[in-house]
């Protein structure tokens, strides 16, 4: 999975000095579709199927097994927790999981670890969003 870090400069209301926070702000500002928008545009199963495929690919990368049921349940839990995430943010969380930033897997898939990674990213995202003005939030349709 590859994320383009050469995105346009983000609009910041206060200076963010941490490069990870600046990247996160760029990701928030992308016009990549959100999980809930995909469900509305197609059907509610589409984001579940997309996430399940990504989780299966993620597990192949790690050399661990995952069942279709585990992938589906974990995907539904992710969507329940972070329906506002856009696809660029989903890929970023999965990249961070691959690098062990949000936990490690010891020979088997752990859906709780994956969902907790998305929750942790949501907390980090919230801190970055708190630096934005209300006009900026309206422009991005974040409330």
Q: 93-109 pLDDT, tens per residue?
A: 999 999 999 888 888 89
Task: Name which of 8-12, 39-43, 87-91 the model is least confident about.
Answer: 8-12
Q: Evaluate if residue 24 carries a pLDDT over 70.
A: yes
Q: Where are the alpha helices (DSSP H) in the chain?
A: 19-29, 35-41, 45-62, 68-81, 87-98, 111-129, 134-140
Q: Where are the domains of the chain?
A: 32-140
Q: Predicted confidence band at 11 (pLDDT cuts at 50, 70, 90)?
A: low
Residues 57-77 have a mean pLDDT of 96
pTM beyond 0.85: no
């Amino acid at each position: 999975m590859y994320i383009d870090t050469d995105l346009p400069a983000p609009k910041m209301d206060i200076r963010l000095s941490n490069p990870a926070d600046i990247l996160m702000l760029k990701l928030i500002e992308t016009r990549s579709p959100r999980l809930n928008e995909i469900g509305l545009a197609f059907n509610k199963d589409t984001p579940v199927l997309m996430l399940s495929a990504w989780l299966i690919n993620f597990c192949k990368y790690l050399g661990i097994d995952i069942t279709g049921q585990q992938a589906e349940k974990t995907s539904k839990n992710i969507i329940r927790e972070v329906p506002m995430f856009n696809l660029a943010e989903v890929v970023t969380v999965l990249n961070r999981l691959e690098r062990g930033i949000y936990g490690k897997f010891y020979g088997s898939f752990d859906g709780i670890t994956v969902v907790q990674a998305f929750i942790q990213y949501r907390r980090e995202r919230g801190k970055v969003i708190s630096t934005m003005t209300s006009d900026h939030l309206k422009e991005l349709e974040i409330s």
